[in-house]
Amino acid sequence: MSASGSSPLSAGQPAQEGGGAALTPVLTRRWSAPSSWTLASYRSLDGYQALPQALAVEPGRLVELMKASGLRGRGGAGFPTGMKWSFLPQGDGKPHYLVVNADEGEPGTCKDVPYMMADPHALVEGCIITCYAIRAPFCAIYIRGEALHAIRRVTAAVREAREAGFLGRDILGSGFDLEIVVHAGAGAYICGEETALLDSLEGRRGQPRLKPPFPAVAGLYASPTVVNNVETIASVPAIVLGGSDWYRSMGTEKSPGPKIYSLSGHVTRPGQYEAPMGTTLRQLLVSAGGMLDGIPLKFFTPGGSSTPIFTPEHLDVPLSFDDVAAAGSMLGTTALMCFNETVSVPWAVWKWLEFYKHESCGKCTPCREGTGWLVQILRRVVSGAGTPEDLDTLTDAAANIAGRSFCALGDAAATPILSSFKYFRGEYEDLVSGRTPPVIDARQLVGAH
């Protein structure tokens, strides 16, 4: 888990010795406190201090504060949060809603569930402040169904907050009313797509909606809705307390603030490392004790399986939205899956594709049909039955999915193939030419579906 649990809300610490990351425990600062998930623990560490301050100002000022802080959405797209809030039409006579996207489900992405386990009240407080800012009387927290532990914990936190008077009618005498509902999803990756999430929340089949209209205009129950990620909303109380200047003292100009980096894979100490935006993997790896057993890094994802892979040459790319994009990938959810030299790239890509095939919602043709087809070809390739033609088909089919599907899931499925061919085409060629042995025995695929 995070390094220090007790540092004050101050700008980043100096870089660790040996070139490690300058850890900035803002969001994770309470994680190692005893029973950190309880109201008592939260209150002892500045919990619910931001709320009265927020309720004392006019809601529009909170929107301005978010804009000034430069906070960008932590769900992967990095859309400026304050701007998203300001899109809600005011005085339209419709109810407004906040929906927290806690349907964390991408391979490698593992920040929101630990967050909700360790510090659910920060999320709840963030929800209250956000709802006040966007004038929403109702908030839904949509949590991935498999994360039952997180669902229980957030549910308990909502109950505690209600009992303490932070939810319900006339919160802290402000006249503001709010209800929060914790909703358990059914475990579909597509429901992390915000419009599919809204449909699912409404009790419909979780498939993405046509945009426009965007959720800010017609979201939950066709009413103006803000959909934000857990980490985004959890950042709100800290920004209210610390102010935008403090927040901007961390991170880069265009990607300010701290970020939870999730290191997984062949790393000595995998886990959550909160550091300023723009920290590099090289720094993070130092903090995490380096690569496991000293075996060198072969490739990594900067932000989950849907982001184009990086290689050791990208170890010094600052992990901020713009820097990663400039280097040809996406920051995504800062899920840094690190693979060492023992890993076959085609094998890893095949495994990811199995996931996307399984999770394709089926709405649009390229993703529904294409993911299944790519998996079939990859199975052949990794089991030694592939042909050179298959490699052309793989790249062509992936290119035919990317940018042609209804939502980003299709892009996500095509990405591992396209990016792995960019850096590791040779590995595929070696497999189909027999220069390297099959990664798996074809018999292992019997019955695969």
Query: Given the rule CB under 8 A, which residues bind other proteins?
Result: 188, 190, 205, 207, 210, 357-366, 368-373, 376, 380, 389, 393, 396-397, 400, 403-406
Cβ atoms of 198 and 219 within 8 Å: the answer is: yes
The nearest distance, CB 437 to other proteins, in angstroms, is: 22
CB nearer to other proteins: pick between 225 and 405? 405
CB nearer to other proteins: pick between 135 and 404? 404
The nearest distance, CB 233 to other proteins, in angstroms, is: 28
DSSP for residue 173: G
Cβ atoms of 190 and 359 within 8 Å: the answer is: yes
The nearest distance, CB 397 to other proteins, in angstroms, is: 8
Distances, alpha carbon 34 to alpha carbons 5, 25, 38, in Å: 10, 16, 9
The nearest distance, CB 205 to other proteins, in angstroms, is: 6
Query: How many angstroms separate the CA atoms of 190 and 431, rounded?
Result: 32
CB nearer to other proteins: pick between 128 and 414? 414
Peptide linkage before 302 cis (omega within 30 of 0): no
CB nearer to other proteins: pick between 155 and 393? 393
Instruction: Give the sign of the dihedral formed by CA 75, CA 99, CA 405, CA 427.
Output: positive
| Apex 228 CA angle, 225 and 234, nearest 5 | 130
- For residue 335, what are the β-bridge partners? 262
The nearest distance, CB 391 to other proteins, in angstroms, is: 12
The nearest distance, CB 192 to other proteins, in angstroms, is: 14
- In our burial notation (b when 16+ CB lie closer than 10 A, e otherwise), range 375-414 reads bebbbbbbbbebeeebbeebbebbeebbeebbbbbbbbbb
Q: Are strands 258-265 and 138-143 parallel, antiparallel or unpaired?
A: unpaired
CB nearer to other proteins: pick between 181 and 326? 326
The nearest distance, CB 344 to other proteins, in angstroms, is: 22
CB nearer to other proteins: pick between 397 and 439? 397
CB nearer to other proteins: pick between 149 and 358? 358
